[in-house]
Structure 1
Amino acid sequence: MIRFENVTKSFGSRQILRGVDLEIEKGKTTVIFGVSGGGKSTIIKHIVGLLKPDGGSITVGGIRVDNADETTLRDIRTKVGFLFQNGALFDSMNIRDNVAFPMIEHQKLTPKELEYKIDEKLSMVGLKPDIVKPLYPEELSGGMRKRVGLARTLALEPEVILYDEPTSGLDPVTSDFITQMICRLRDEIGMTSILISHDVNESFKAGDRYAMLFEGVIVEAGDKTSFQNSSNPVVQQFIHARSEGPIAFH
């Protein structure tokens, strides 16, 4: 579905990606692990053309995005949903208008069709439309804002969803709910997902494939069993960091 080949990216004198090779399988959830500031968000921003690589190639559904024009990128962005870490809701809009926004921008729906789809997407993420639609983001808990953000991401029925730290800052119950939602989208509609996270426990519940980004390259990739049993010390330190204390790579 998505392929990175020898992708490099620098910001000023700091090289973030040093030759990333990565394949994302269709209908699977791929988790990308890595230390803070190591380039995980940089990888997913390249997929929708928010960043351009310095070198290498990136394809989404067989279409090159690293050198795509704006028309092509707009088309790609309707097929790829991006759930930002904080939900990225519009504070000046109520929940109804937040979820409606991408559909109004990209689809031609009757008022009745629009309301039906708003209610449908909110219900999909476990929210009661009649209760939450009139509310504003500031009136919601962090977990509810994240769910509204996911409802808006689902509004255009994307083929791929990119999750940036989807359980960050959430309580264990809400984290588990978000994880279950990611699994449901995969199991029920075959959603392709990429998840970047520090939450090892929730990520091992959600993922099908795992990749470890370290010092700008993917140092390990595979399914859950092969990843957990990897002999790579970077992978093992990351997986067991919570019980063993801070990571100290050498």
Structure 2
Amino acid sequence: MIRFENVTKRFGKREILRGVNLEIEQGKTTVIFGVSGGGKSTIIKHMVGLLKPDSGTITYKGTNIDNADEATLREIRKKIGFLFQSGALFDSMNIRENVAFPMNEHQKLTAKELEYKIDEKLRMVGLDPEIVKTLYPEELSGGMRKRVGLARTLALEPEVILYDEPTSGLDPVTSDFITQMICRLRDEIGMTSILISHDIAESFKAGDNYAMLFEGKIVESGDKESFRNSTNEVVQQFIHARSNGPIAFH
């Protein structure tokens, strides 16, 4: 669905991406691991055309992103949702207004259709619309804000969702709920998901495919079994250091 071929990116003298090759499979969840500041967010920004590579090609369902015009990028961006680490809700809007915002911007819906879709998306992430719609973000827990952020991301029914540390800062119960939600979206509606994460345990519950970014290159990629059995020293060090010992692969 998304393909990187020999993608390079430099900021000043610092080379962030040094020939990245990566394939995102449709209908699957791909997890990208890497050290902080190692270029994971740079990869994500290239996927939606916010950054252009210095060299190499990036395609979305066969369409070149790296040299696309603004009109083409706008259409592609409508198909790609982004769940920010914080949820990125508008503090001045209540929950109903937050979820409605992208639909008001990009769709022409009747008032009845809009309310139906708001309720539908909130229920999809396990929230009762009658309870939460009139609340403001500051009245919600961190986990609930993230779930509202996911409801808003789902509002335009994207083909792909990019998750930036989806379980960061959450308690174990809420982290597990978010992980289950990612799996449900894949299993029930065939959602393609891309996770940037340091949470080894939750990532191995959610993911189908894995990639390790190190020193600007993808040094290992594959399905769960091949990634687990990788002989790459960087992969093994990352897994064991992050999990404080061997982890259980589900």
1:4 to 2:7 alignment? no
Q: Residue 46 of structure 1 aligns with which residue?
A: 46
Superposition deviation, residue 13 in structure 1: 1.4
Q: Residue 27 of structure 2 aligns with which residue?
A: 27
Q: Residue 84 of structure 1 aligns with which residue?
A: 84
**25-34 vs 62-71, greater mean Cα deviation:** 62-71
Q: Residue 248 of structure 1 aligns with which residue?
A: none
Output the amino acid matched with 1:59: T
The DSSP-based 3-state class of the residue aligned with 2:218 is: strand
Partners of 1:229 and 1:9 in 2: how far apart?
30
The DSSP-based 3-state class of the residue aligned with 2:92 is: coil
Partners of 1:174 and 1:98 in 2: how far apart?
21
Counterparts of 1:4-153 in structure 2, within 5 Å, are 4-153=4-153
CA RMSD after TM alignment: 1.0
Structure 1 residue ranges without an equivalent (≥5): 246-250
Output the amino acid matched with 1:179: T
Q: Is the 8 A contact 2:198 2:242 kept in 1?
A: no
Q: Residue 198 of structure 2 aligns with which residue?
A: 198
Output the amino acid matched with 1:128: D
Q: Deviations over 1:59-103 (max 9, x none)?
A: 111111111111111101110001111111111111111100111
The DSSP-based 3-state class of the residue aligned with 1:240 is: helix
Give me the identity figure in percent.
86
Superposition deviation, residue 242 in structure 1: 3.5
Structure 2 residue ranges without an equivalent (≥5): 246-250
Output the amino acid matched with 1:34: G
Partners of 2:40 and 2:60 in 1: how far apart?
18
Aligned residues: 245
Partners of 1:231 and 1:20 in 2: how far apart?
20
Flag the 1:158–1:243 CA change in 2: closer, same or farther, 3 A.
closer
Partners of 1:144 and 1:243 in 2: how far apart?
26
Output the amino acid matched with 1:161: I
Partners of 2:54 and 2:137 in 1: how far apart?
37
Structure 1 stretches of 4+ moved >4 Å? none
Partners of 1:11 and 1:144 in 2: how far apart?
36
The DSSP-based 3-state class of the residue aligned with 1:167 is: coil
Partners of 2:15 and 2:84 in 1: how far apart?
24
Superposition deviation, residue 244 in structure 1: 5.0
Partners of 1:236 and 1:167 in 2: how far apart?
22
Q: Deviations over 1:126-175 (max 9, x none)?
A: 01111111111111111011000000000000000000100000000000
Q: Residue 173 of structure 1 aligns with which residue?
A: 173
